[in-house]
C-alpha cells in the first residue's frame, strides 16, 4: 500500500500581442497580410454593426440586443480560424462569427427585430442558430460533432459558452461526452467576467475556467481574449487536432463585456467605472491597429475607407430589414417540425387580433 500522486494537471496561458500591440516574436503565427487585414476589418465591422444595433433598439426599431463591445476579437478570430467545411454554433454575443461565415448582416438585424427568418442562413455558411437558454446548445454541439465523426468527415465543430454558462449542467454533461467520444469539437469559454450582474468570482471557485477540461480528459488552455492572434492560434491548433481525430479542446478566452448585458440592463447598478476603465486599456481593436501599423499594414486612410464601406453595408442591411414584412405565424411554425396543439391554440388566439393573413 502506498499513497502516490495519480494525476497532476496544469493550464497554459497564451498571449501573443501585448497591450501595446507588440507581438512575441517566438509565438507570432506566420499569417499573410490578407488574413491580418481581414481579421482587423471584421472587428471594425463588428463594432459598427454593434453600435448600430444598440441605436436601433433605442429608437424602437429593433428588439432587445446583447452588445459585443470589447469582445470583438474572440468571435471574429475564432470564426476566421474555421475551414470552409467546419461548423459553428455561437451564443448571442458572438454574432460576428456569423458575419465571418458570410451570413448577410440583414439576417442578424432581422433576428434581433424578432423575425424568425433572420436565423435561416444561406446554404454553405455552415452556421447554426444560437440558443437563448444558457448552455442548452452544448449537447447539440457535441451531437453534431459526434455525427461528423461517425460520418467519417474531416470537419470540426466550434462552439462558445459564457463564464456563466459553465455553471449549467449542460456544460458538464457535454464536456463529459465530448471527452469520452473524442468528438471533433472546440469549445471556447468566453469569460467576460460577468453573467448579467453575477461576477466571475461568484461563478466558480476554480482558479481558471479552462481547467474544467482536465476533469473530463480534454486538453485545455487559457488565452488573452482581447488578443486576436492568441485566439486565432489557439482555435486553429484545436481545429487541426479535431479534424485529425485527436478529439476536443477547451479554450478559455479572457475578455471583458464593456457594455451592458443587454439593452434591458443597467450595469452601473452592480459594477464600478474603475473596473470598466481598466479594461478600456486592453481594447482588442486598438491593440490590433497598433500591431498592423508596426507591420506597415495600417494607415488612417485605409481605416477610413473601410469604415465608409461598412457604414454603407450596414445602412443597406438596415433598409432590407425594415422593408421585410414578417409573418407572426412564423414564431409558432418554427418551434417544432409540426405545430403542437397548444401552439395551434395560441396561433388561433393571435389570429383574433391580427387576422389569419400576413399583416
Ligand atoms: C437556462 C437559462 N437561465 C437563465 C437565463 C437568463 N440569462 C440570460 S443571459 C444570462 C447570463 C449568461 O452569462 P454568461 O454565460 O457569462 O454569458 P454573457 O451574457 O456574459 O455573454 C442569464 C442568467 C437564460 N437565458 N437561460
Ligand atoms: Mg459572461
In the reported structure, the alpha carbon of residue 294 is separated from the centroid of ligand 2 by a whole-number distance in angstroms of 32
Domain extent, residue 343, equals: 327-359
354 band by pLDDT with thresholds 50, 70 and 90: confident
The mean pLDDT value for 156-177 works out to: 98
Q: Give the ligand 1 atom nearest the CA of 262.
A: 19
Q: What is the tens place of the pLDDT at every residue in 207-228?
A: 999 999 999 999 999 999 999 9
Q: Give the ligand 1 atom nearest the CA of 91.
A: 21
Name residues with Cβ closer than 5 Å to ligand 2, which is an ion.
162-164, 192, 195
Which has the minimum average pLDDT: 65-69, 95-99, 350-354? 350-354
358 band by pLDDT with thresholds 50, 70 and 90: low
Residue 334 has pLDDT above 90, yes or no: no
Q: What is the tens place of the pLDDT at every residue in 69-82?
A: 999 999 999 999 99
In a domain, 5, yes or no: no
In a domain, 83, yes or no: yes
% of the chain residues with pLDDT over 90: 94
Count, residues in the chain: 359
% of the chain residues with pLDDT over 70: 99
In the reported structure, the alpha carbon of residue 31 is separated from the centroid of ligand 1 by a whole-number distance in angstroms of 35
**How far apart are the C-alpha atoms of 18 and 280, rounded to whole Å?**
14
| 116 grid coordinates | 424568425
Whose CA is closest to atom 20 on ligand 1? 195
Residues 196 and 298 in one domain: yes
Residues contacting residue 58 through CB under 8 Å, at least 6 positions apart = 263
- For position 357, what pLDDT does the model report? 66
In the reported structure, the alpha carbon of residue 256 is separated from the centroid of ligand 2 by a whole-number distance in angstroms of 8
Residues 309 and 345 in one domain: no
Q: What is the tens place of the pLDDT at every residue in 287-299?
A: 999 999 999 999 9
Given CA atoms 268, 271, 272, 277 in this order, what sign does their dihedral have? negative
Whose CA is closest to atom 21 on ligand 1? 162
Residues 177 and 197 in one domain: yes
| 25 grid coordinates | 516574436
In a domain, 6, yes or no: no
Whose CA is closest to atom 12 on ligand 1? 195
Pocket test for ligand 1, best of 194, 196, 264 (most atoms within 8 A of CB): 196
In the reported structure, the alpha carbon of residue 195 is separated from the centroid of ligand 1 by a whole-number distance in angstroms of 6
**How far apart are the C-alpha atoms of 227 and 23, rounded to whole Å?**
10
- For position 68, what pLDDT does the model report? 98
Nearest C-alpha neighbor of 98 from the set 120, 113, 114: 120
Which has the minimum average pLDDT: 72-86, 150-164, 332-346? 332-346
Q: Give the ligand 1 atom nearest the CA of 261.
A: 19
Domain count, the chain: 2
| 346 grid coordinates | 395560441
**How far apart are the C-alpha atoms of 264 and 57, rounded to whole Å?**
10
Residues 264 and 359 in one domain: no
- For position 345, what pLDDT does the model report? 95
CATH of the domain at 185: 3.40.50.970
Residues contacting residue 324 through CB under 8 Å, at least 6 positions apart = 106, 110, 115, 117
What residue has cell string 497532476?
Answer: 8
141-145 contacts: CB < 8 A, separation 24 or more?
A: 141/89, 141/174, 141/185, 141/187, 142/174, 142/177, 142/178, 142/181, 142/183, 142/185, 144/87, 144/89, 145/178, 145/183, 145/184, 145/185, 145/242, 145/248
Nearest C-alpha neighbor of 93 from the set 115, 113, 108: 108
Residues within a 6 A CB radius of ligand 1: 93, 132-134, 162-165, 190, 192, 194-196, 257, 261
Amino acid at each position: 500500500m502506498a499513497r502516490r500522486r495519480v494525476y497532476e494537471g496544469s493550464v497554459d496561458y497564451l498571449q501573443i500581442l501585448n497591450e501595446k500591440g507588440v507581438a512575441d516574436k517566438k509565438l507570432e503565427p506566420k499569417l499573410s497580410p490578407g488574413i491580418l487585414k481581414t481579421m482587423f476589418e471584421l472587428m471594425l465591422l463588428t463594432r459598427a454593426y454593434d453600435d448600430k444595433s444598440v441605436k436601433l433598439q433605442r429608437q424602437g426599431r429593433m428588439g432587445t440586443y446583447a452588445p459585443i463591445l470589447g469582445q470583438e476579437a474572440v468571435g471574429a478570430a475564432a470564426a476566421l480560424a474555421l475551414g470552409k467545411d467546419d461548423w459553428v454554433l455561437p451564443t448571442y454575443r458572438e454574432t460576428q462569427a456569423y458575419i465571418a461565415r458570410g451570413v448577410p448582416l440583414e439576417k442578424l438585424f432581422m433576428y434581433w427585430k424578432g423575425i424568425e427568418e433572420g436565423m435561416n442562413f444561406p446554404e454553405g455558411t455552415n452556421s447554426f442558430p444560437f440558443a437563448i437558454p444558457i448552455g442548452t446548445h452544448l449537447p447539440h454541439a457535441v451531437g453534431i460533432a459526434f455525427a461528423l465523426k461517425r460520418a467519417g468527415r474531416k470537419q470540426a465543430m466550434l462552439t462558445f459558452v459564457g463564464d456563466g454558462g459553465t455553471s449549467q449542467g449542460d456544460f458538464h454533461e457535454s464536456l463529459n461526452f465530448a471527452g469520452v467520444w473524442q468528438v471533433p469539437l472546440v469549445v471556447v469559454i468566453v469569460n467576460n467576467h460577468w453573467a448579467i450582474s453575477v461576477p466571475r468570482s461568484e461563478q466558480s471557485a476554480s482558479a481558471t475556467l479552462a481547467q474544467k477540461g482536465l476533469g473530463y480528459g480534454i486538453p485545455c488552455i487559457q488565452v488573452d481574449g482581447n488578443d486576436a492572434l492568441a485566439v486565432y492560434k489557439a482555435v486553429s491548433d484545436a481545429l487541426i487536432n479535431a479534424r485529425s481525430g485527436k478529439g476536443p479542446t477547451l479554450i478559455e478566452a479572457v475578455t471583458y463585456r464593456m457594455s451592458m448585458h443587454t439593452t434591458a440592463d443597467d450595469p452601473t447598478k452592480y459594477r464600478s467605472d474603475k473596473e470598466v476603465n481598466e479594461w478600456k486599456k486592453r481594447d482588442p481593436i486598438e491593440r490590433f491597429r497598433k500591431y498592423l501599423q508596426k507591420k506597415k499594414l495600417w494607415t488612417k486612410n485605409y481605416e477610413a475607407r473601410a469604415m465608409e464601406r461598412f457604414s454603407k453595408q450596414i445602412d443597406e442591411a438596415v433598409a432590407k430589414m425594415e422593408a421585410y414584412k414578417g409573418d407572426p405565424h412564423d414564431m409558432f411554425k418554427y418551434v417544432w417540425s409540426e405545430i403542437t396543439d397548444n401552439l395551434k391554440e395560441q396561433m388561433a388566439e393571435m389570429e383574433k387580433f391580427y387576422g389569419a393573413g400576413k399583416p
